[in-house]
Structure formats: C-alpha cells, structure tokens
Structure 1
Amino acid sequence: MIPVIGVEEQRIAVLGLGRSGLSAARALREGGAHPICWDDNEAARDIAAGEGFKVSDLSRQGAFDDIALLVTSPGIPHLYPEPNRVIAAALAAGVPVDNDIGLFFRSFAAQGFDEFDTPPRVVAVTGSNGKSTTSALIHHVLSEAGRASQLAGNIGRGVLDIDPPEDGGVVVLELSSYQTELARALTPDVAVFTNLSPDHLDRHGGMGGYFAAKRRLFSEGGPDRAVIGVDEAEGRFLANQLSVGPSDDRVIRISSGTKLTGPGWQVFARKGFLSEYRKGRQAGSIDLREIKGLPGAHNHQNACAAYAACRALGLAPRVIEAGFASFGGLPHRSQLIAEQNGVSFVNDSKATNVDSAARALMAYGRIRWICGGLQKEGGLAGLAPGLANVVKAYVIGREAAAFALDLGETETEICTTMERAVARAMEEAEPGDCVLLAPAAASFDQYDNFEQRGDDFTARVRANLG
C-alpha cells in the first residue's frame, strides 16, 4: 500500500466504493485521515462498513462541513454530461475534488527515495486504443529483463494498492481519460500517448474535451520523456507543444506505417519491421512479423510505444526484443484462443469502438467477423478500411438488424446471440479463415462488460471444437 501523505487528522470524503474507492479509503486511513465513505449501492456501503469505515450520505445537507477533500471514483461524472449531485455539492462548497491517481502521485515520491541508489520511476500510458497492451508489454519487458516492475491503474492493481517501491523499481500505469482529467497531481517520469480516436465524447463534452483530458498527463507535471504517437493530428500537435525543436530528444515520436525522419528520436514500424532512429542514425530494429502476441499494425504501434518507453528507461534493443518474443498478449485483445484445420479463432472483445475494431480487421486476412452490440455515437463509417478483409459478418446484439444495415454491401447474417454467431461462423469457416470477435460496440446490451462477452466467445469456440 502507498499511504497518502499530508492528510493527518483530516476528514476526507470518498465517493464510489469500487476497487479504486476502497483502496483510496484504506490508503487515506493509513496516512492518518478519517475517511467518510459513500456509494449509492447498498452492498458497496456494507463492504466499507465491514472494514470499519464511517459510511454517511454525502448528498445530505451540510455533508461537506469540515470536509477537507473529496476523492471520487473515475466512473462518476464531475462535469459532463452533468455533475454527479455529490460532486456538485463539493464544488459549491469549495471542497477540492481529486481521485486516487492524484493521491498516488502526491504520495509516491515520499516513500524514502533518499535511501535508494536508483530512484524508482513511473511510466504512465494513455490514449484511445492500445493502452492496456502497451502497459502490459512494458511491464513484461521490464520483468523479463530482471527489473522490479509493478502494473497498476486501469489494469492490474489499484494505484494505491501497490507495494512500496524498490530501489530502481518501475511502476507502469495505464490511465484512462476518466483518471487523467481530474487528478490534481500528474508527474510521471515517462508519459506515453498511443493514439486518439472518438470515444467517451458525452463524458468529455466532445472531442476537444477528450483530447484535453489526455493532454493533462503531459502538461500538468512535465515528464522527463514523452513518447507520442503521431499518426493523428492531435499527436503531432502534442509532440510539437512539448518539444523546443526538431532535435529535442525529450520527445520520442512513434508511428505505425510511416517512416519518421529528422534529427530527433523516432521509433516506427513499417511492413512488420520496427526501427529506431536517433540523431539521423539507426539505433535499433526488431522483426515483429513472427511475434504471435503482437499481430497487426495496431499492435505494431503498441510495440513502438513500449519499445520507446523501455529505451527511455535505459534498456538495450536486444533486451527489449527478447521481452517482445515471450509476450503472450492480453485476454480479450487480439487474443489467439485456438487454431484448428487451418482456421484461427481470435478474441478481441476489447474492440468496443469503431477505430479499434477497424484496426483488428486490418490485422488479419480472410475474416469471419462476429460484431455488434450497443453502438456508440458516430456510426460505422470508420470500419471501411478493414471491411475488404471480411468474408462475412455475423451480427449479435439486441439491435443486430440495424447494425447489419450500417455495414452496407458486406455480407451479413443476423445472429443476435453469441451462441448462434459462433456456431454459424464455425460451420462456414474454411482453411485460412480467421473467426474474429471484434464487436465495434459496447457490451452492455447483453453482457456486464467486455470481459464477460469475450469469455462467452472463448467458451463457445472451445466447446464447439471439442
């Protein structure tokens, strides 16, 4: 645990008692604060009360009298589409609002760093797609290289639940826009921006607000090194804002598909080969084509981001390459779950938006595509670059017919359920085909989360394979 500093004897409100909220309450108590906890869910309140926390309705009149700080969970809106009533009350009372990420950064560097020969470091990864794979890949490479590493944030453990840092250790954080937009302290040593595509626009009041939430990771604390994906205009703008000139190697630009040139520090992947250039000279290269845990151009972009972050931490190219080779990928993210009779079965249930699904479609050849669910705003036009690889789409979800209509001339079959979609795709699959779950939609019309959807796909494939 990372005890929160500077909160001794303070009454601090905690809103939302899921993983991040409970861990924040524990870390606050460990730091000498008196947490006042609330969640609209009675079961969550009972768990907190069972751990000895004071539970009190934070929406009642006068709830913020003598409260020094409100710590809120990331899923609770504080501005758009409208503030949660408890957060609105805190804002009206002038009570500062923070989250567990802000508490972590204000407390982490106070953990006895003066005693270490090599101070621990923090790598923080954000972006629209690829955050989880990039974060896990950095953590894996570090661990394989013998470096003490912990994975936390939006993946792995809660940030305040991690172990106290070791000499030379690295904490790798995956951070969503929900986490970066509100944290009052953001001071990573290395910050990574993978890419940007429309997502969560209602929460951020549009694309500009969404980008601004991501940008805070770089503007608030000023990382020693910034790894920036420059395949979109926002990434190019961010890299430009952070650098003082073309040769400023505090910014490492990365790309999947474009050769980057100039006197600075660049890492890019083209035709399956990763290349690193520094001061106009090649400094490293990796053949990514045979690394099964990193298929497709979108994963090659993740590889570039992870490579750049690991190089910024001082790892040699061959050490990074060895880590890449043993990386098995993450569940629900381009996860190869089976191969039989020349047909591969891939679970990419995490492809919950159009951009991530399009990237998955471009990673494979002949695809029997299981898609559909709760559509996000913006339509399906962004899928066009990958639809040429689709032999047939098997559409699931409560609004499967409407989803299928939006796919234009792509051959479709309305299956509605995962059970029927998997069965039909497997009946019709031929050698060389890939049966791919990449929904391009949220899961909430049929499942609690994308993990449950991916697990259902995996279970039905394996049951049919026998």
Structure 2
Amino acid sequence: MTDRPDRAAPEEESPLEGRRVTVMGLGLHGGGLAAARYLAGCGARVTVTDLRSPRELAPTLEQLPREVRCVLGEHREEDFAGADLVVKNPAVPRTAPLLGRAPAVTTDIALFLAHWRAPRRGEPARPGPLVAITGTKGKSSTAGAVAALLSQHLPGTRLGGNITISPLSFLNDLGPGDPVVLELSSFQLGDLRFCHRHNSQRPHQTLPREILFPDLAPSVGIITNILPDHQDYYPSLEEYVLDKEELLLSLRGEALCLVGHQPPWSDRFRRTLGSRPGVTLEVIARETVPPGLLPEQPLLRGDHMLGNLALAASAARYLGVPPEVIRAGAETFAGVPHRLEHLGQAGGISFINDTAATIPEAARAAARAYPGRTILLAGGSDKGLDLAPLAEAGAEAVAGGGALVLLAGSATERLLALLEERKVPFHGPCPSLKEAFSLALDLVRVPARGRPQGHEPSGTVLLSPGCASFGMFRNEFDRGNQFRDLVREALAAAPEARREAPS
C-alpha cells in the first residue's frame, strides 16, 4: 500500500470529506483502484470490498492508500447499509442484493464527470470537449484514434474509460479546455441509468446531485456498431442495445452523433435521436469521409479498422482539428494494444495479437484482414453467442493455406460440432496458450503447399479467439499479455527477428 492518496482538490473542501464510501469491486482494470485513491484524496472514509482473495488482487492492493480499509473474499451487509455512498464496479451485476441496501450508488465515471465539471473557487468550470464512444467492437480502436488525432492539435487530450484507464487517474492533470475521450462499455453506460433509478427511490440525499444523477452529455457521441455480445449477462439483445443507447439519450444542444454505417441499427439510432433537438447525426463509412482527410495507405489493416479510423477522423474534424493534421495523424496511427497489434516478425512469420476479439464476428474480421497463410488461434469460454462466424474464420484460414488451432473452453466445446459438421479441420483443443502457440509455430514452419523444402517459412500467427477468456485467463488482457510474452521468447530465439513487441 502507498502512504499518500491522490488529492482530488486540496485547496477546497470536498463534499465527500468524512463520508463513509464503499467501493464494491476493486478489480484488476484500474477503475476500483482509481476510485479508492480519489475518494481517499477527498477525505472520505473508504472501504474496498471484493470477493477475490488478497493473492488475486495483490498487484492492485499494493497501490491502495494505507488508510483504505479492505474486506476481501466476502461482502458484508454493514459495509453497504452503513455507507453514505457505494461506488459500483461495472462487473458487479445491478441485481446484486447488497446494492439494494445502499443508500446511494455511483460509479467512477460519474465521480469523474461531477468533479471535472464542478466550479473551482467560485469560478465556473471550463472543461474541454468530451468524446464518448461505445459499440460492440471497435470502440477501443476508435477511442485510441480519436485521442491520437486530437492530441496532434490539442496536446492536453486524455483517453480513459473501458480501455482500462479510469478518468479519475488523470483528473488532476486536466487543464481548462483539455479534451477527454472516454471509451464506454454497455455496462458502464447502463450503470449511469442505474444510478438515476436507484437514487431517485431514495429522496433524502445530502450528496451533490452531480454524483448521484450523472450527466454524460458529450460534445461528440460515437457508436461504432452493434453485434450480439454479452448474452450470458443480458436477457436479450434488445436489453444490451438499450444500454448502448444511453449514450444517444445523453446528447443535447449542438452535439454531434456519429454512427457506423450498419442498417438497420444506424436507422434505429436516427429514430432514437429524433427526440433530441439540435443534435446532428452522421452515418459514417470510409467512403463518406471528405477526400484528403484519410491517407490512401494507412498502417491499419482490415475494413473494420479503416471504418474506425473514418469515425475518428470525422470526430476530430468536427472538433476543429485541421484536415492536414488529421491526415498526418491517421497515416501514422498504428492502433492500440490487443487489437490487431503487430508484435514482430521472424523471417517471413508475423505475430498478431487480437485478444480483444471476444466475439465470433471480430475473429472473422481479423482473419479477413490477414487473408494469406494464417494460423488462427481461437476458442475459449462461452458468452451464449452464435459461433458460425468463428467457424467461418477457421474455414477461411484453412482455405488460405493456414490452420485453425483451438484453445480449450466451454465455447470451444460447442464449436467442435460446428467445425465437424462443416468439415473444417482443426488442431486441439489445447489446455494452455503455451501449448497452442507451440503448435502454431510448428504449423507455420511447415513449408506452404507448392513451396519446396528448405524454403523460408512464411505466414501469420494470429491470436483472435472470438470468445471470452474466463477459466484459462484472468481476462482477455491477461490472455494477450501471455501471448505477447510467448512471442517475445520466439523472437529472442530467432536471430533474423524484427522485435516490435513492447518491452
């Protein structure tokens, strides 16, 4: 644990000072940690509670201020009923009974918005523009691209949200007018509505309204696409989409809404925005971007990635970034970690980390971005989704002279029958990523059909699972980091390697 918390506003008394605040779900992605540090800095009496063990949470626990009280391996009712405020982690189900005992509920996103927009020393706040981005896939890449393009013109731009960076962690670094880009999951957006519903049923509140009834109100809202996802959590696809539409319902005034070209969803979003006077909707595809705004040969690969870049360029243009600056930034933008991330090359073999492909459609898009000889590592745990696109991805990899290597998991068990029915050959399922990677190396080193023995091996080893990671890994980022480590070892053993993996 650390000795000093992050002071939120040391020159002013915080409305949270002395309040009993429980952070429900410390987690491993930074949101719970940032909330606890922020609250301690505000002078709150902070309790962190998580069902995981101290061993599992050790890297995060080491960064907590010493005055934070921790309850691990269990949740205690008194930490909820006796609190003034509970900060909900997005991974905590809204139906959790203990949340019902909380007098008030908020989130790290809500705390950030309330503080960022609060007056300082009697002066009006001067926050910069907020760009809020959601969608089933592509939201991280689009958010990263928006932040990169804005930073070329406005160096104070900061990126946070679902991309594993809580905006509370950079709150003190923001100056007047600095833009903020937030990637928001369906869970985070739905939680903002949950705060409104929960807190409106408890009228005798003494905390600031901005904390209890969060108002996203972005200058630019972006929805990249809608695909079936999280159907192990939501009772229907419609419920999932309603959470995504919270972003649309928060737009007002002169805001701009950008949506990827995807009928019928883009048509539905136009109807949803019909009740928001003053909001402009633009349906974006690469072809609709004004000529000269995007480079002809960007570093990104895949039609889906180029669509994300088109959305980002459109947002930057609306916020005043000069076209020549946008083009230059788009030309050098290489993407974000874990999304078609090029890790390096040994001879003719490239290694691509696309662990964030947690739905079948994303794996299919990744396979199509690398249509040559590709060894596709796929499979994992089940989210209740149609696996046909993942079977198609495997079939296309095999048809291109590559192979399909499966990771074990509950979704893989369902996938096997589909592959056998379609006569798609596969290897595995492998009980570990290390075994799957070793098998992939053996396969890619075999000379391609029609090439003589002794010819330098060539192809792509692509991790694009199309499934969730639970069971074998802590999360999809752990899966990607393990893959990165395996690639680093392979590159170190290859004298001709180009090491592009982060150290």
- TM-score of the aligned structures, taking structure 2 as reference length: 0.77
Q: Of 29, 38, 55, which aligns to 2:49?
A: 38
Post-superposition shift, 1:433?
3.6
Q: How many Å separate the matches in 2 of 1:109 and 1:429?
A: 60
Q: Distance in 2 between matches of 1:63 and 1:370?
A: 44
Q: Which amino acid aligns with 1:140?
A: A
The question of 1:409 aligning with 2:453 is answered no
For 1:360, which of 366, 371, 375 is the aligned residue?
366
> Displacement of 1:72 after TM fit?
1.2
Is 1:239 the counterpart of 2:283? The answer is: no
* Residue type at the aligned position of 1:452: D
Instruction: Say if 1:181 and 1:413 are closer, same or farther in 2 by CA, change over 3 A.
Output: same
Give the alignment of 1:5-154 within 5 angstroms: 6-18=15-27, 19-43=30-54, 51-55=66-70, 59-60=75-76, 62-65=78-81, 67-79=83-95, 83=96, 85-90=97-102, 95-110=103-118, 112=120, 119-154=127-162
Amino acid at match of 1:269: R
Q: Does 1:435 align with 2:443?
A: no
* 2-structure distance, mates of 1:198, 1:86: 29
The CA distance in 2 between the partners of 1:365 and 1:287, in whole Å, is 23
Corresponding residue of 1:279: none
Q: CA deviation at 1:62?
A: 4.9
Q: 1:345 to 1:39 in 2, by over 3 A?
A: closer
More moved, 422-431 vs 182-191: 422-431
Distance 2:64 2:294 in 1: 54
**Structure 1 stretch 379-388 or stretch 404-413: which is displaced more?**
379-388
Report the more deviating stretch, 387-396 or 365-374: 387-396
14-23 or 427-436: bigger deviation: 427-436
Partner of 2:477: 451
Q: Which moved more, 1:411-420 or 1:199-208?
A: 411-420
Within the alignment, does 1:390 sit opposite 2:397 as a pair?
yes
Cα distance in 1 between the residues matched to 2:37 and 2:406: 41
Match of 1:263? none
2:383 aligns with 376
**Structure 1: how far apart are the matches of 2:328 and 2:71?**
52
* Distance change in 2, residues 1:288/1:353 (3 Å): farther
Conserved? CA contact 2:118–2:124, under 8 Å: no
Q: Which of 277, 281, 286 is the matching residue for 1:269? A: 286
Q: Does structure 1 residue 229 correspond to structure 2 residue 246?
A: no
Report the alpha carbon displacement of residue 134 of structure 1 after superposing the two structures with TM. 0.9
CA distance in 2, matches of 1:441, 1:305: 26
| Structure 2 CA distance for aligned equivalents of residues 464 and 21 of structure 1 | 35
Shift of 1:249: 6.9
**1:182 aligned partner:** 191
User: Does 1:251 find its partner at 2:259?
Assistant: no
Relative to 1, partners in 2 of residues 1:406 and 1:104: Cα closer, same or farther, differing over 3 Å? same
* Aligned pair partner of 1:313 in 314, 319, 322: 319
Letter in 2 for 1:445: G
2-structure distance, mates of 1:139, 1:114: 31
Deviates more, 1:198-207 or 1:334-343: 334-343
Q: What runs of 5+ residues in structure 1 fail to find an aligned partner?
A: 255-267, 277-282
Identity of matched residues, %: 29
Residue type at the aligned position of 1:20: G
The answer to whether the 8 Å contact 2:344/2:351 transfers is yes
* CA pair 364-315 structure 1, distance change in 2 beyond 3 A: same
Range with greater deviation from structure 2 (437-446 or 393-402) = 393-402
- What is the Cα-based RMSD across aligned positions, in Å? 3.2
- What CA deviation, in whole Å up to 9, does each residue of 1:259-279 have, x standing for no partner? xxxxxxxxx215xxxx42xxx
Of the structure 1 ranges 137-146 and 37-46, higher mean CA displacement relative to structure 2 is found in: 37-46
